Amino acid sequence: MAKSERTTGSGLEPAIYKRGEVEFNRRFFELKFSPYFRVVLSEAEKSMVIVVSTPRREFIATRIARISSLEVHLQLQGGAGEVGVPFGEITQVQLRPKDARG
């Protein structure tokens, strides 16, 4: 299901999830990214970001603020606020180290 790239010292492994390989819905985010729903993240989660790609834009998030049956609300990196992304628009979700480009 997920392609692991390399292991970080945080214990979390970078992964890429693509539309067609997985179904992006509430259950997917609750299972794969459950630590990112917490208000206060552990050091392991703080060292990683969630990158959500849509056809129009890429969102880099530090945590998941809330979720509904239709969309996920992401807290953007750098304190840039919160954005809601409909599940139907998501083409790829990536978990990667904060300092990585990809």
**Residue ranges per structural domain of the chain:** 3-97
CA angle 83, 86, 92 (to 5 degrees): 95
What pLDDT score does 7 carry?
41
Residue 14 phi/psi, 5-degree rounding, is: -60, 145
What pLDDT score does 78 carry?
87
- Integer Cα distance of 47 and 96 in angstroms: 9
What pLDDT score does 4 carry?
43
**Which helix (DSSP H) or strand (DSSP E) does residue 27 occupy?**
helix 26-32
From residue 79, give the alpha-carbon distance in Å to each of 63, 76, 93. Answer: 11, 6, 20
Fold annotation for 3-97: SH3 type barrels. (2.30.30)
User: Which parts of the chain have pLDDT scores under 50?
Assistant: 1-10
